[in-house]
Structure 1
Amino acid sequence: MEIKELKPLIENHLTKVWNSSVKIEDIHHLSGGACQDNYSIKLQLGEGSSFSEKNIVLRTDKGASLLSSLSKRDEFKVAELAYKAGVKTPEPIYLEENRSIIGSPFYLMEKISGRATGRYIIKDAELNEYRKSGMVPDLAGNLARLHTVRPESVLDEELKQKLKITNPKVYVDDSISDLRKSLDELPEAHPAIEISLNWMEKNKPEVDSIVLVHGDFRTGNFMITKEGLQGILDYEFAHWGDRHEDVAWLCMRDWRFGKLNKEVGGFGDRPDFYRAYANVSKVEIDPKKVRFWEIMGNLRWAIGSAQQAERHLSGKDKGIELAAIGRRTAEMEWEAMRLIEEAENAV
């Protein structure tokens, strides 16, 4: 939808919802990736002596989303859980599930400062001091706080089920089974993924406990300034799972943006991150479990990349970005098999 069409729809709807005059002073499109659309909005609330301004972000779906992504309702509810758990994340403000307002469900959240691009976080000189002393402990500590959210602490039964409530004893089996199902739904064969899944079935780790997993915790999904971490974003792939999944995802080669020697997101070292996480969570990170979930993460991303390409090829949601992401599948396949070889040689 064009911004000139979107503006009056949002103004009229929020005026009714908040029972107060709402005028949009500025609205512009933000980069939202292949699945999401984000809009920065500056609002004028009320009139006369009660006048105030508010900067927010409207988040909604762009065309077809990945099969594993949450609905806007569930993503909003997860963001609320994270915010209440003390995670530094934008405050969730308002959820609209009625798709007739702007054509799809959406929610509003606090607008925070900072930048999330890999080049800025990994290479920009103004972050040199923060990279040395604060970035790793800040991110590790916030991830540990997110992982304090457990199924038994969530009262919203519908949300608990949507996050795929599970038992630690079967979680790894279920995760492998889900990947096989997604792989079978692709129109072409991927032998490297099949081989990797076979290895994973023979090398399954135990899961210590089930926690709320971000699902896409990586460089690019947190906002940072030279003053430090401003907030963690994008809970669309959140689910109940193993804490090692999030740690492994952040450590994946693909999220280092060329800074391969810094295995934590291109900016940190694994021992430092593991130690900072344990300082807050009082739970030690198991490097072998991280490697297992890193292999799993590469397979998930390989299949996800292929799914993105299929969105383009099928004509459901054509776009050069989707086609380009599809070309990355082979890279993840190669990395998964490299990690398996590394694990075998370590035995």
Structure 2
Amino acid sequence: MNDTELKNILEGYLTDRLKGKTTINAMVSLSGGACQENFLAELKVLDGPEKGSYETVFRTDKGAALLASLSREDEFGVCNLAYQAGVKTPRPFWLETDRSVTGSPFYFMQKIAGKATGRYIVKDPSLNKIRKQLTVDLADNLAKIHSVKPSDCKDEKLKATLWMGQDPQDKVVANGSVRSLRLELERMQEAYPAMELILNWLEKKAKPSDKVVLIHGDFRTGNFMVTPEGLQGIVDWEFAHWGDRHEDLTWVCMRDWRFGKLNKEAGGFADRSEFYEAYEKASGVTLDSGMVTYWEVMGNLRWAIGCIGQAERHLSGKDKGIELAAIGRRACEMEYEAMRIIENAG
């Protein structure tokens, strides 16, 4: 359906849902994530119990899902968990799981200011004065995300989903991640011997985690909304799951998320040691250097497999696009980086 048809459907839906005449004054397509489409939606509820004006983002499915991506229903639940834990993230509104409304599940969330573009965050001079505080704020918010434990989730369906097929009784959280990546590797049509070597190393070096906590799953430059006033919010929760805190802490430090600022290992905006020190202060947890190495290798393998998956979306015809095809060619960079880290680890 086109944007006008979607707007009309949603106006009728919200009028019924909110028990008050609702108009959408503007509905503009925004850049989406790998699995979702986003539209700016300025709403006015003219009467009823939720009367008022709302600046929201309408979020729905897009094409094929990626490895371990959540449904909109589960993503909505995770956003609520994070929001209730005090994480600076947009407030979610009005989940709908009935596909008959628009063809896909959807929900609305609070619109926040700022840009998430990697090169803007790491290079724009208007942010020079706030990058130091941005480092502290991101570390503080990541500590709040990691404060959420499985026992805090009262939605049993969501709790089970966030285990992503892992054994809740297995204290070696990495075992589940290794199994998941091995299954993905086995599904690939071509052979990737470097990935096999990396996976074998991960299998051999896995060890218990300190705690199982909520993991954002894609905590990196590109998924934070920032203005010259500072951090506005953390977005894109579609890869959230229960896991080891070091997974998020190393994902943000991966070479691929530095956007040309390779000397600033934490997302291109800070030194790794500076970011980790801020996280330890906020969380009260001392990080394990061995786990940092381990999960950075894991992250590079995960993204290498993800890059192949992006290319396959293009090649299959499900989501044609030059960007998807180009990302597929980058898998070798992550293979090289993972092998380099393994070699340096001794």
TM-score interval for Structure 1 and Structure 2 normalised by the shorter chain: over 0.9
Match of 1:287 in 2: 289
CA contact (8 A) 1:168 1:208 kept: no
Give the alignment partner of residue 311 of structure 2, picking from 309, 312, 318: 309
Residues 190-205 of structure 1 mapped to structure 2, 5 A cutoff: 190-205=192-207
Match of 2:52 in 1: 52
CA contact (8 A) 2:40 2:56 kept: yes
Match of 1:223 in 2: 225
Report which stretch shifted further, 12-21 or 205-214: 205-214
Q: Look up the SS of the partner of 2:130 in the other structure.
A: helix
Residues 145-184 of structure 1 mapped to structure 2, 5 A cutoff: 145-164=144-163, 166-184=168-186
Q: 2: CA distance between counterparts of 1:51 and 1:314?
A: 45
Match of 2:214 in 1: 212
CA contact (8 A) 2:20 2:51 kept: no
What is the one-letter code of the residue matched to 1:123?
K
Q: Look up the SS of the partner of 2:202 in the other structure.
A: helix
Q: 2: CA distance between counterparts of 1:341 and 1:51?
A: 60
Provide closer, same or farther for how the CA distance between residues 204 and 56 of structure 1 changes in structure 2, counting only shifts above 3 A. Answer: same
Q: Look up the SS of the partner of 2:109 in the other structure.
A: strand
| CA apart distance, 1:47 | 5.3
Match of 1:123 in 2: 123
Deviations 1:116-154 (A, max 9, x none): 0011100011100101x3011100000000001001111
Residues 1-347 of structure 1 mapped to structure 2, 5 A cutoff: 1-46=1-46, 52-131=52-131, 133-164=132-163, 166-344=168-346
CA contact (8 A) 1:68 1:237 kept: yes
Root-mean-square deviation over aligned CA pairs: 1.4
CA contact (8 A) 2:173 2:208 kept: no
Deviations 1:304-328 (A, max 9, x none): 1111111111222222222121111
CA contact (8 A) 1:94 1:107 kept: yes
Q: 2: CA distance between counterparts of 1:175 and 1:67?
A: 12
Q: Look up the SS of the partner of 1:38 in the other structure.
A: strand
Provide closer, same or farther for how the CA distance between residues 200 and 47 of structure 1 changes in structure 2, counting only shifts above 3 A. Answer: closer
- Output the TM-score relative to the length of structure 1: 0.96
Report which stretch shifted further, 323-332 or 169-178: 169-178
Q: 2: CA distance between counterparts of 1:86 and 1:200?
A: 34
CA contact (8 A) 1:121 1:224 kept: yes
Provide closer, same or farther for how the CA distance between residues 129 and 168 of structure 1 changes in structure 2, counting only shifts above 3 A. Answer: farther
What is the one-letter code of the residue matched to 1:318?
K
Q: 1: CA distance between counterparts of 2:207 and 2:129?
A: 37
| CA apart distance, 1:57 | 0.3
Q: 1: CA distance between counterparts of 2:45 and 2:18?
A: 9
Q: 2: CA distance between counterparts of 1:67 and 1:261?
A: 30
Q: 1: CA distance between counterparts of 2:102 and 2:153?
A: 30
Q: Look up the SS of the partner of 1:57 in the other structure.
A: strand
Provide closer, same or farther for how the CA distance between residues 108 and 268 of structure 1 changes in structure 2, counting only shifts above 3 A. Answer: same
CA contact (8 A) 1:87 1:146 kept: yes
Q: Look up the SS of the partner of 1:321 in the other structure.
A: helix
CA contact (8 A) 1:274 1:284 kept: no
What is the one-letter code of the residue matched to 2:156?
E
Q: 1: CA distance between counterparts of 2:244 and 2:40?
A: 34
Q: Look up the SS of the partner of 2:27 in the other structure.
A: strand
| CA apart distance, 1:107 | 0.7
CA contact (8 A) 2:41 2:55 kept: yes
CA contact (8 A) 1:114 1:225 kept: yes
Q: 2: CA distance between counterparts of 1:284 and 1:28?
A: 44
Q: Look up the SS of the partner of 1:251 in the other structure.
A: coil
| CA apart distance, 1:51 | 6.3
Q: 2: CA distance between counterparts of 1:121 and 1:2?
A: 33
Q: Look up the SS of the partner of 2:261 in the other structure.
A: coil
| CA apart distance, 1:158 | 0.4
- Output the TM-score relative to the length of structure 2: 0.96
Q: Give structure 1 stretches of 5+ with no counterpart.
A: none
| CA apart distance, 1:94 | 1.2
Question: How many residues of Structure 1 are paired with residues of Structure 2 in the alignment?
Answer: 342
Q: 1: CA distance between counterparts of 2:243 and 2:229?
A: 32
Deviations 1:155-176 (A, max 9, x none): 1110010001623523212211
Deviations 1:81-112 (A, max 9, x none): 00000000000111010111111000100000
CA contact (8 A) 2:136 2:275 kept: yes
CA contact (8 A) 1:299 1:333 kept: yes
Q: 1: CA distance between counterparts of 2:33 and 2:152?
A: 32
Q: 2: CA distance between counterparts of 1:341 and 1:248?
A: 17
